[in-house]
Amino acid sequence: MTQSITAPRYAHAEGYTALAFGKSGQFVCTGGSDSLVRVFYASKSERDQEAITLEQHSDNVLSLAVSRGKVISGDEEGMVFGFDLGQSSATESDGVSVEPSGTVLRSTLPARDISISSNERQVAIATDDESIRVVSLLDMALLHTLVGHRGSVNSVAYSPDSTYLASSGCDGTVRIWDMREGDPACVQIMPKIAYVCEPGNSMEQYKVRWSPDGRILAIPCANHSIKLIERNNWGVSALLAGRHTNTICHLAWSSNSKYLASASLDCQVVVWDVVARKAILSHANVNDLCQVEWNPRGNMLAFSDCTGAMYIWDDVIPVEQGHAAPFERALADAGSLSKDKLMSDLFDDTATANRASEDGMDEDEDEGDLLDAGDATADAMDDFVVDDDGAGYAERQAPRWTAVAASEVQCFQPGSTPWIGSRRYLAFTMVGSVVSIAQDESHNTIEIEFYDKSVHRDFHFSDSFKFSMAALSESGCLFATTSRELANDQSLRGAADADEVSVVSYKGFASWSANSDWTFKLPLKENPRCIATSSHGAAVITSLGNLRLFTCGGAQRHIETLPNRVVTCVARDDMLLIILEALGTIRSSGGMKQLEYEYVLMSMDGQSRLAAGSCPVTPASEIVWTGFSEEGHPAACDSKGMLRVLHKYWAPSHAGWVPVLDSRKLSRDRGKREGFWPVAISAKQFIVVTCQGKSKYPPFPKPILDELDIDVPLLNADTQVGQQEAKYLASRLFIEQQRGEAERTGSEYPGGASMLARDELEQDKLLLRLIQLACKSDKTQRAMDLAMMIGLEKSFDAAVKIAVFLKQSSLAERLMRLRETKFASELEDDGDFSDESHSEAVSGQRDVLPNTRRPAAAATYGRERRPAGDDDDGDVNLSDGDSDLGVEALELGKSTRPPLPEALMRSGANTGAFADSAGRGLVSRPAQPPTTSKPFNPFGVATPSKSMEIKRSDSFFNAADMHSDESAAGPSTPSKRQQPSLDDDDAAAGVPRKLAKKATKLTAFAFNKGGSNANDMADDD
Amino acid sequence: MAITTRQTEGFTMPELEYLAQNESITIVPLHRMDRIELVRGAIGPFRPPQKTVVPLWVAIMLKRTNRCRIVAPKWMQYEHLRDLYKREEQPDAMFTRLPIYYLEIAHMLLTFAEDDLVESQGIRRLLQDLREVRQSKTMEGLRMLNSLQLQMDNLSMAEINEIRPLFGHSFDMLRQLDGLAQATETEQQQSQFADQSYAEMDDAFGSRYVH
């Protein structure tokens, strides 16, 4: 059998190299004589990634221990350091973060071996002096010093249930300590059972190891054999011998206790089948070996040698030859699903059978495992599996979900932090910040600082209520106290006593009113849960579920009872956004939550609800921030860094949450470990405080805000097209929101019509860029779709030009037709009105027409005179805008110059409908738009052109222009076809009539360029 | 091209600072202000607390009246400077890349906006170290001066200014000397040639005389 052992990875400088796998099997830590600790990814796919290097030590690293949340390493000068395995490994499927957490122990002699108890509370450290140190991991206090060994202690090992601690000394004595009692006692001494080694020689220091099921202790002993000691009677149950020819220095148990790997100074790694008591595999290395470890979740062995190299041996146990897998099936399920497909071939019946026959597993655990395996299979990559890395065995055992009780709902104020030292932010918005500074038992100091110093001056006051909540707006600041019962631990320090009544207080910033501050005392047992304020008033939601609304002056305006599940609320102008935990929220016994949320968007006076519904979050995350964008979009950010805005909140039942930025992805892309603490959002940017390293909250003094560009998470975000599309979508969201907001409040578009026009133009520019990209890659259908989205006619002309320029003549042709349908309804309406006016004037057919149309018709009279002037504009635009349009276009343009009747005659002729219209009388002809596409000719009778046939055969086009077909349907019955145009009166109101003429010009131009049938139109000129 | 006395004799530090004031810098305004069109471009609008990029002179003017906070440029952050210093310190390292007016900008920021810098004392120290290392390197580099060229990449304005008078004069001198040396060389060659020909002639004549 070939052994798949990786090439040596030179992890460290030459010398003794320690090694330990993470409990998840995801990574392997090494420590070596270059005084570094490094963390390598273990799985095949990630193996070549760069290792995380930790530079805490200043001497040779001799020992390493890894538990679920800790890495502890000891070096030759006796320093033992701890590292925290980052939170991120629990929430993110990729990456391990290791942060130094401080010194665990400072010993005078080398730290030879380290063992962490299974509950992660204690760590035992063997040093070259004759004692074993037991240190509490909670506060790094030295708990016990175990004295008894004569000579250096070279290894320590907690039994898996942390009941016993086994230790071995250089004199060959193994001692067993009972760790259950407060004062550990030596319960067993096995003198001279192991071999005697020379103290101080790192290479010779052997280790004793417990089997993971806790029944057997393996000890390397004198004649190059391994003794297996039963825990029941401390008797030797078996001897594994016959393979090694030199001192055995390290042992490792597979996680299901079936296999034992041993490394020896004869340069061999031997794998023993413990049940069969024989060696099944061996590997000869070139150099002396140091340590060997099993991957707890895989058929993988790692070993290190004295050159500082690390090797990984994949697929160690030949499972296909009938050997059992070296790890638990359930664990493997989890492991292989979330990592690579390392073990997928190992789940054979043998493994299951072996596992079933195994004892030491009670019924409950089995159930838990099965449940777990089921879960893991069901939602394969779900974070649940990954959570295991950092979370712990207990949670994995039994995720028993229960519905959440209302009182457990944790509420928060957006922009508040826990106490950082003696300070905490109560509110942090774009207006400014409110900081509470702890002074003494009786009072705190509140500091309000504004960003815009020209509007308000910073101030501070002494706060005897110990406010724990604040909400800041441009016009005032609202404070409230929380009762101790409701406060989550972070705000305890600022809380009032439980029997004290809660207080709500408002400080107005308005200077004209002498006394704009007000304070209310809430009834006993009614405490504020969250508060919000805006220029339109203040809102307090209390523990009884009451939403109390006040005006800025302190008048009580409204009270309403909400479900008692409110998480947070925030206000802007006349809108109040309330986030509630939905009834679907469930909570596991282990404290894990699967949160679901609802939102209610209501007016600040409580008179109306704008929108309500569910508020989605990324699975397994919770809402950490809510707010309004500068423009008024309600927004929420979840703990996975996904920012969403509530779009179309102004339109009843159209509201929906649109993700606009994945900030977690952004920080990943930047390759930095930084957190973003949300502050505010604007149309283009997400404004945050960037938190470096481990801190999750903004520091003091107030940091400078960072701006992250809004980046809608569309597909293909790495391509130019994807980026443009995201930009376009962001811009569209913005314009739609601005319009919707203007419509809702009945005000004007912010900045007026000119601003709207500019914004729309910007938006169309993005579309044009996309059209250009689509044309360049010959995606004409896509270009067509994009053209459909164009809003302004001017931009549409540009699109046609782009198509022509990029030699997409068929696209240009279709765009022309689309252009007419898109803007035709308006044109036709124009035509109709003048139609009417003429009918009225000439033949007095007023009785045929509904009275309602008259104002509109009257409005068109004024416009009658305009075409000539408008045409001038059009011509200038045309020639200025694109000089390559050529002479034809200009000439065509001129054709519209002659006095009105003649021009109209000509334009009528252009349509090819002249003969027909002549037959029906001149009355209706003059104002008829000079469209070239037949279906929109109100009189419909014309020689069918080639382009028309194309159009008919094109199903997309027909579908896209339902409206035009509708109008085309009744050309012969004018009175009927006036009906649809009636509906379009509003749309037609502001549209200049030059559209039609320009269309003609452009069509002619496009067709000439394209070399197709432009003759019939061009000839007319 | 006309060369001013300034360019040959060097600028004074205030003059350089004046030049550096046109560099852009990010600020966080503390007051709201609309866009202002200036000859060299527009500044604003200021919408606190959004960051804006303005010329340094505007930033300093605002800072002096406490109307803005200056955001330290990336190269002026402590960590970045520390890395730069480490790199600069390596033996045989080239000059690290820094803005051309780095000393002037740093000096102005440290004078007027020290409270906006994190670890300003550390920054000051590092800049001092950096400057000394670079100075000694420049001096080292000057030894390589020959009559044709002298290349030192990423040298900043102030540093160039420092060596300018010395460099200019020595370069001139070297060139003169070089010209002189070349002239002598050709002369020598010519005289050698002359000697040789005389010798040949002598030989020729000599031989004729002999025969």
ipTM score assigned to the predicted complex: 0.73
Q: Cβ of B67 under 8 Å from any chain A Cβ?
A: yes
> Hey, which of A46-55, A387-396, A784-793, A830-839 has the most confident mean pLDDT?
A784-793
Task: Give the pLDDT confidence of B91-140 residue by residue, as tens digits.
Answer: 877 888 889 999 999 999 999 998 888 888 999 999 999 999 888 888 88
A513/A544 Cα distance (integer angstroms): 33
Residue A449 with chain B: CB contacts under 8 Å: none
pLDDT (mean) for A23-40:
85
pLDDT at A538: 93
The pLDDT of residue A970 is above 60: no
Q: Cβ of B79 under 8 Å from any chain A Cβ?
A: no
CATH of the domain spanning B9-165, picked from 3.40.5.50, 3.40.640.10, 3.40.50.1360, 3.30.428.10: 3.40.5.50
CB pairs under 8 A between A and B: 32
Q: What tokens does A326 get?
A: 């070296």
A451, A454, A455 ranked by CB distance to B49: nearest = A451
Taking CA–CA distances from A682, the nearest residue in chain B reads: B50
Taking CA–CA distances from A449, the nearest residue in chain B reads: B30
The pLDDT of residue A861 is above 80: no
Distance from the Cα of residue A334 to its chain's centroid: 23
Do residues A604 and A571 make contact, with C-beta atoms less than 8 angstroms apart? yes
Task: Give the pLDDT confidence of A508-518 residue by residue, as tens digits.
Answer: 887 777 778 89
pLDDT at B25: 93
pLDDT at A587: 62
Q: What tokens does B56 get?
A: 């340094």
Task: Give the pLDDT confidence of A430-466 residue by residue, as tens digits.
Answer: 889 999 998 887 788 999 998 888 888 888 999 888 8
pLDDT at B168: 79
pTM summary value:
0.53
> Hey, which of A430-434, A690-694, A942-946, B185-189 has the most confident mean pLDDT?
A430-434
Cα–Cα nearest to A611, from A560, A577, A564, A573: A577
H or E, element range at A610 = strand A609-615
More reliable by pLDDT, A478 or A120: A478
Q: Cβ of B28 under 8 Å from any chain A Cβ?
A: yes
Q: Cβ of B110 under 8 Å from any chain A Cβ?
A: no
Task: Give the pLDDT confidence of A728-754 residue by residue, as tens digits.
Answer: 999 999 999 988 988 888 888 888 888
Q: Which residues contact B36 (CB under 8 A, 6 or more apart)?
A: B42, B43, B44
The residue count for chain A: 1021
Taking CA–CA distances from B70, the nearest residue in chain A reads: A704
Q: How confident is the model at residue B201 (pLDDT cuts 50, 70, 90)?
A: low
Q: Cβ of B14 under 8 Å from any chain A Cβ?
A: no
How distant is the Cα of B48 from the closest Cα of chain A, in angstroms? Answer: 5
**How far does chain A reach from its first CA to its final CA, in angstroms?**
89
Q: How confident is the model at residue B202 (pLDDT cuts 50, 70, 90)?
A: low
> Is B49 in Cβ contact with A454 (below 8 Å)?
no
Cα–Cα nearest to A937, from A961, A903, A972, A906: A972
Q: State the CB neighbour count (10 A cutoff) for residue A850.
A: 9
How distant is the Cα of A451 from the closest Cα of chain B, in angstroms? Answer: 5
pLDDT (mean) for A929-943:
42
pLDDT (mean) for A648-670:
86
Using CA atoms, how far residue A727 sits from A115, A711, A715, A741, in Å, is: 54, 7, 13, 21
CB crowding A377-387: b at 16 or more within 10 Å, else e: eeeeebbbbbb
A134-148, A434-448, A699-713, A816-830: range with lowest mean pLDDT: A816-830
Q: Count Cβ atoms within 10 A of the Cβ of residue A605 and give its class: 0-12 exposed, 13-18 middle, 19 or more buried.
A: middle
Residue B69 with chain A: CB contacts under 8 Å: 704
> Is B32 in Cβ contact with A452 (below 8 Å)?
yes
Cα–Cα nearest to A525, from A541, A501, A560: A501
> Is B50 in Cβ contact with A452 (below 8 Å)?
no
Q: How confident is the model at residue A905 (pLDDT cuts 50, 70, 90)?
A: very low
A657/A414 Cα distance (integer angstroms): 19
How distant is the Cα of B170 from the closest Cα of chain A, in angstroms? Answer: 48
* Averaged pLDDT of chain B: 84
The pLDDT of residue A795 is above 90: no
Using CA atoms, how far residue A168 sits from A20, A115, A194, in Å, is: 19, 13, 8
> Is B48 in Cβ contact with A453 (below 8 Å)?
yes
Q: What is the 3-state secondary structure of A813-861?
A: HHHHHHHHHHHHHHHHHHHHHHHHHHHHHHHCCHHHCCHHHHHHHHHHH
A577/A614 Cα distance (integer angstroms): 13
Cα–Cα nearest to A501, from A474, A519, A477: A519
A29/A20 Cα distance (integer angstroms): 5
B31, B49, B66 ranked by CB distance to A430: nearest = B49
pLDDT at A375: 41
> Hey, which of A325-329, A415-419, A632-636, A893-897 has the most confident mean pLDDT?
A632-636
More reliable by pLDDT, A902 or A756: A756
Residue B113 with chain A: CB contacts under 8 Å: none
pLDDT at A657: 93
A959/A948 Cα distance (integer angstroms): 15
| Residues A887, A892, A896: CA angle, nearest 5 degrees | 140
Q: Cβ of A751 under 8 Å from any chain B Cβ?
A: no
pLDDT at A823: 78
> Is B71 in Cβ contact with A451 (below 8 Å)?
no
> Is A451 in Cβ contact with B48 (below 8 Å)?
yes
pLDDT at A94: 54
A136-150, A585-599, B141-155: range with lowest mean pLDDT: A585-599
> Is B50 in Cβ contact with A707 (below 8 Å)?
yes
Percent of chain A with pLDDT over 70: 68
Residue B31 with chain A: CB contacts under 8 Å: 452-454
The conformation of residue A26, written as its DSSP 8-state character, comes to S
Q: State the CB neighbour count (10 A cutoff) for residue A232.
A: 8
> Is A454 in Cβ contact with B50 (below 8 Å)?
no
pLDDT at A1016: 44
pLDDT (mean) for A295-299:
83
Provide, for chain B, the percentages of residues in helix, strand and coil under a 3-state DSSP scheme, each rounded to the nearest 5.
60, 10, 30
Residue A454 with chain B: CB contacts under 8 Å: 30-32
Residue B49 with chain A: CB contacts under 8 Å: 430, 451-452, 687, 705
Q: Which residues contact A249 (CB under 8 A, 6 or more apart)?
A: A203, A204, A205, A206, A207, A220, A263, A264, A265, A289, A290, A291
Q: Count Cβ atoms within 10 A of the Cβ of residue A930 and give its class: 0-12 exposed, 13-18 middle, 19 or more buried.
A: buried
pLDDT at A446: 92
Residue B67 with chain A: CB contacts under 8 Å: 453
Using CA atoms, how far residue B14 sits from A937, A1014, B25, in Å, is: 76, 70, 19
* Averaged pLDDT of chain A: 72
Q: What tokens does A367 get?
A: 């159930």
pLDDT (mean) for A566-588:
84
Q: Which residues contact A922 (CB under 8 A, 6 or more apart)?
A: none
CB crowding B80-93: b at 16 or more within 10 Å, else e: ebbebbeebeeeee
pLDDT at B197: 67
Do residues A950 and A858 make contact, with C-beta atoms less than 8 angstroms apart? no
